[in-house]
Structure formats: structure tokens, C-alpha cells
Structure 1
Amino acid sequence: MRLPIYQIDAFTSAVFSGNPAAVVPLEAWLPAAQMQAIAAENNLSETAFAVPPGDADGGAWGLRWFTPEVEVDLCGHATLATAHLIMNILQPGKERVVFSTQKAGLLTVTRGEEGRLTLDFPTRAPQVPDTVHPGLVTALGGPAPAAILAARDYLVVYDHAADVRALTPDAAGLMGIDRFAVIVTAPGDEPGVDFVSRFFAPAKGVLEDPVTGSAHCTLIPYWAERLGVDRLSARQVSRRGGALACRLVGDRVHISGDAVLFLEGHIHI
């Protein structure tokens, strides 16, 4: 079997930055184990698989995402990458794509000003958790945080962006946490940046994700409430780095960014 594959850097306008995602367009779903094996072979934080709409799908593409270890319920950068592929290569000129997902419902991506793409995702507002994993703060290795909240992921809030940048987490210590992943965040320390973040999910095969769209489903409602605004500019301060324009719209978030094609080829299985 010969399958097309594309690697697209998301939340950036230049290759070698942002978050690389593999995208494999299919005619029909492969067995989950086979898609998981492809994702493991790619060894990127996410590989997306997309199936074109059928007669009963209302125009929505099917979309699933896999880390090297597990299938995930929601992924932002690989959705952005898949939309970029559809709008620029598979169906050039298309201005809007709807995706049907198994656990996140319908997701929409639209092309806006200067070609920038905007994801329409559900919010995952953080709350004070009943308990916090006892090894969390030690495994992160930084100063005492200002707050620890949680949704799908832990949200660990620091006072200073420098604290977030300086973290060197113990991957083994984070393997046993009782949440999907850990988001760390702090106020921005550069002009025009409202907040910074990083994202760690070693148990899911992603030690540190370069730019994480799904994390902003939690970050945006937190910072919108804290800062009293509904539009925010975010930066993920991983080694590769990435920029996101954010907006809170009721129980949805709009996450905007650029994407650029790095590689195209074929898989032989």
C-alpha cells in the first residue's frame, strides 16, 4: 500500500519553527493499530489522518490524531496542518473546512486575513482540582507555583515568564501524573505577548510539545478571565517556539496561526 504523507510546520510562517505535524490523507480509515504504528514510525508529537466527506457526512472531513504512543481526543497544531493541506494542496482556494472527530465533535477551520487560519475549538476551562499529584511540583523542578488548576491537563501557573522558560522537568517524574499532560504558564514578558506557556506529556510519547493548540482551550479562558479581555496574544516558549492569536467566544475558543509545508512523500506499508 502506498499512502501520501505531508509534514507541515504549524503556528509558524517559516520552516524549522512552530510544531511539525505529519498529515496522511486517506480514502478510508485504516485499522487503528496501523495508524498508531505509522505515528510511532513518524515520531512526531502528532500524526493526523483525514478522510474526505462521504454522502452522509454533511461535507465534514473525518479527522483523527495519534502521538507516537496513543490516539488523542483533540489536537490543535495537527488540525491546523490538515486544514492547510486541504486548503492549499488538496482543494486549493477553499476557505473553510469542517472536521468531524470522535471525541471533540465538529471543528471548523477558516482562512482569514493574510491567509492565516483560525481554529474553532471547545473551551476546557480549568478548575481547582480536588487533589494534586504529590510529585507534580518536584518533577517540574521550578519554584513554587502561584496556582495549580486542572481540566484535561494540569495548569501550573508561575509568576514570571522566566520561571517557565527555565524549567527542566524530570520526565520520569512526570510519567506517573494523574492527568493527560502538564501545561505551565505565566504572564508574557515581551511587548504584545499576554501570556507564555509550555506543554509536557512524556507518558503520551511527547516529552515537550513545541506548540500545543489544545492546551489553549484551557489557557485562553484562564487568561481571558484573569486579564479581563477576550482577545489575547500567546507565545509557546519551547525551543522551536510558536505564536498564537487567541479569542474567547462564549464556550468556544478561536486560535489563529500560520502553517508552512516542509515535506511531502509517500509511505509504503
Structure 2
Amino acid sequence: MRQIITQVDAFTDKPFAGNPAAVCVLATPQTDAWMQNVAQEMNLSETAFLIKLDDGFSLRWFTPTTEVPLCGHATLASSHVLWSEGHLSTNEDARFHTKSGLLIAKRQGDWIELDFPVIHSQPTTAPPELSQALGVPLKTVMQNSLGYLVEVESEDLVRQMQPNFQQMKSLPIADVVVTSLAKADSEYDFISRFFAPGLGINEDPVTGAAHCCLAAYWRDRLHKDQFLAYQASSRGGVVKVNYVGGDGLRPTVGDRVLLAGQAVTVLRGELIL
């Protein structure tokens, strides 16, 4: 049996930028081991697997080493594939049933908007080895379901840092979102990078899930709900962020964040089972 697999660059409007993801729309269910093997073979930060359901699609995400409960860029890539490959008409929303609940993607012109849960962070005391591993002084340290969320003093520090990934792997929590305000003359509100050696990804190029926690973090500090964000990896990517839900006064577990990005197909091939 031959299975089409598509590689998409997400959170970018040009090829060879943003975050690449592989997308496989399965005709029949496959085992977890098989999906993990395919993800390892593709060797991208995420490979997405979809199966058609009565009300949308089942969606699961695998890194080369493990399954993850939430992935923004591979959801964006999956939505792009469903519309561009004719699995959905262009006026239909993409509905995904995932381990993080129901996720909905909508077309907004050239952009794709994802409706995701907000990830709230709590203050924490980081081990001194964290600053050593990142190689920069830490301004603020929070913790959430992704790992640490660290603010540093400047955009230059975010862009220039070169973490020691082997040292990061020895920490109790190995995955870190690093962020700062953008420069005053920038078109962006904040920038970030995401290091995830605990997931088998030293640096993820552009991370939707990270912006689920960055939305809440910067909302509390900048007192606004809409942001234009840039993830400053070597590939780089742009994310529109819109914090919605809740009562507008205090964070709740029901809060949502709308993440918008663009996507480009760069490769389509046959996976021979």
C-alpha cells in the first residue's frame, strides 16, 4: 500500500523558512510504533498523522523520539494539506480531535488561524545550572506544561545565545522557552526561541505551543491581547497571537489563544508501507 506524505514549511510564506513538518493523511489506522518509526525516518521536529472521522480528523504528533500532546506548527501544516490536497473544501473549517481536545483551524485569506488552549505559567525557582546551560543571565523564570519559560533582558541575548544542550539534558526539566521584548523600533512585540533537547529537538524553528504560554505571559506584562511575534531561530517564523476567552480580568483554564500563520508545501512523496 502506498501512502502520500507531504512536507510543509509552517509559519512562513516562503519555502526553506519557518518550521518544517511532515503530514500523513492515513487511509487506515496504524500502530503507535509504526508512526514513531515514520517520524524517526522523516527526522523533522514533528510528523503529523491524520485519520478521517465523522466530525473532522483525528490528529496525533510525533517527534523523532516521542509523541507530544500539542503541536502548533504541525497542526498548521495539517490544515494546509487538508485544503491544498482536496480533503476539505476551502470554505470548510478543519476540526482536529487531539490529546489536547478539539482544535479548529480556519482560513483567513493567506493566513491560517488555529484555536488553541492557553498554557498558563507559574513562578518557580530554577536551578543555577539552568542559567549556566543557557549561557545568559535570567530575568524571570516560570514553569508550565512545556517546561521552563525564561525572560531575558534583551532581544540581542535571545538571538545570540548558544545553549549547552548536553548540560540541559541533565536538568530535571530540559525544555525551555526563552523570550524578551522586541527592540523598540521592531514591528514585533516580542521574540522567542524554544530549546527542547528533552524531546529530541535541540531547537525547534517555530513553535505554536510555545506561543500558547507566551500569549499569557506577555498579556500579563503588556496589558494587551494581540501581538505580532517572531521566533528567532536560524529559519525564523512569524506568528500572529490573539488572546481570547476568560473574563478578561484573570486567567482561567478555559482561556483560548488564536495563533495565525502561513504555510508552503515543499515536498510530496509516497511512503511505501
Provide the TM-score with structure 1 as the length reference.
Answer: 0.94
Distance 1:28 1:230 in 2: 41
Distance 1:229 1:201 in 2: 28
Distance 1:60 1:12 in 2: 25
Distance 1:216 1:20 in 2: 17
Distance 1:268 1:21 in 2: 19
User: Match of 2:18?
Assistant: 18
Whether contact under 8 Å (2:88, 2:94) holds in the other structure is no
Matched, 1:209 2:204: yes
Distance 2:78 2:46 in 1: 11
Distance 2:66 2:128 in 1: 25
User: Match of 1:149?
Assistant: 142
User: Structure 2: where are the runs of 5+ without partners?
Assistant: 246-254
Matched, 1:245 2:249: no
The AA in structure 2 aligned to 1:79 is T
User: Displacement of 1:43 after TM fit?
Assistant: 0.4
Distance 2:92 2:127 in 1: 44
Distance 1:179 1:97 in 2: 34
Within 5 Å, give how 1:1-269 maps onto structure 2. 1-54=1-54, 59-89=55-85, 90-102=87-99, 104-112=100-108, 114-129=109-124, 131-142=125-136, 144-152=137-145, 153-179=147-173, 181-189=175-183, 190-250=185-245, 251-269=255-273
User: Displacement of 1:79 after TM fit?
Assistant: 0.1
Distance 2:154 2:234 in 1: 18
Distance 2:127 2:97 in 1: 34
User: Structure 1: where are the runs of 5+ without partners?
Assistant: none
User: Displacement of 1:132 after TM fit?
Assistant: 2.1
The AA in structure 2 aligned to 1:151 is N
When the two structures are aligned, how many residues end up with a matched partner?
A: 261
User: Displacement of 1:180 after TM fit?
Assistant: 6.0
Distance 1:157 1:23 in 2: 33
Provide the TM-score with structure 2 as the length reference.
Answer: 0.93
Distance 1:94 1:135 in 2: 50
Distance 2:270 2:4 in 1: 4
Distance 1:36 1:61 in 2: 19
